Amino acid sequence: MSGEGSVTYEVTDRIARIVLRRPDKLNALTPTMLADLQAAFHRLELDADADAAILSGDGRAFCSGADTAGHGLPPEERRARALVDPRRQLFEEGIEWKPIIAAPHGYAVGYGMVLALKCDLVVAEAGTRFQMSEIPRGLYASSLWALMAFRSSAAFADELTLTARFVAAEELLAHDAINAVAPSGEHLALAEDLARAVIGNPARAVRHAVQTRRAYQARFISDATLLTRAAPSPLDA
């Protein structure tokens, strides 16, 4: 598969499977794929046959980040695009607040890491490598720093943000940034087991917990992003 790629949506036993399908580009997200992903999340919210979802990637990686084709644009246009970035709406505007479990494997880099960590639960395949790649590319790192600090600790977020080193799923688990690490090839099965355990509880209580968690997460990220944008930007240089 090549070109823009796609996002597929299927439901079995009340669990939706949302899959990023651009394997030849390690599922790098194009604007079209982001819109398709937004549509899949909206479909989940309205789907009477689904109570939870598992988000995964096709091929050798979960997601290698946002497609970089637009990074050569002038700073003014890049900032304008950021203001209407559909990525901001993927989790923050729930309707039914159904839980989403990320099942990353291979690589989760840049926005791929954001996408995984913004999910309500994260089950990674053993050896999956994550990277906060914004700073080496001269981009803002505030939202990803805040997300990591929210899920783990500020000290760990500091290190990963400033060094931009790759970090294995096992280390993220040790820092309580993700929920589980599965043996090779078993991350989807473990994610399904976790999804079944979640949806075995009363739906209203589960969704209230999801709404509460996402509200605090969004506030934490929003505060960090607003503070950063109020300061001079390296993109203005």
pLDDT per residue as tens digits for the range 194-214: 999 999 999 999 999 999 999
CA distance 77 to 144: 22
Instruction: Decide: helix, strand or coil at residue 184.
Output: coil
Q: What pLDDT, on the 0 to 100 scale, is given for residue 66?
A: 85
Find out whether 8 and 53 touch, Cβ atoms under 8 Å: no
Residues 26, 49 contacting (CB under 8 angstroms): no
Q: What is the pLDDT of residues 11-65, one digit of tens each?
A: 999 999 999 999 999 999 998 899 899 999 999 999 999 999 999 999 999 999 9
Share of the chain above pLDDT 90, in %: 70
**Phi-psi domain of 179 (left: phi exceeds 0; alpha: psi -120 through 50; beta: other):** alpha
Prediction pTM value:
0.88
Q: Are β-strands 167-168 and 180-182 bridged in parallel, bridged antiparallel, or unpaired?
A: unpaired
Domain spanning 6-188+195-236, CATH class: alpha beta
Average pLDDT for residues 90-98, to the nearest whole number? 86
Per-residue pLDDT at 14: 98
7 alpha-carbon distance from chain centroid:
14
- Is the pLDDT confidence value at 221 over 70? yes
The size of the chain, in residues, is: 237
Q: How far is Cα 158 from Cα 68, in angstroms, rounded to an integer?
A: 24
Residue 107 — very low, low, confident or very high, per pLDDT cuts 50/70/90? Answer: very high
220 Rama class: left (phi>0) / alpha (psi -120 to 50) / beta: alpha
Is pLDDT of 88 > 90?
A: no
Confidence of residue 142 (pLDDT cuts 50, 70, 90): confident
Q: Which of 155, 72, 84, 148 is nearest to 116 (CA)?
A: 148
Q: Residue 106 and residue 104: Cα distance in Å, rounded?
A: 7
* Token pair listed for 131: 């990277």
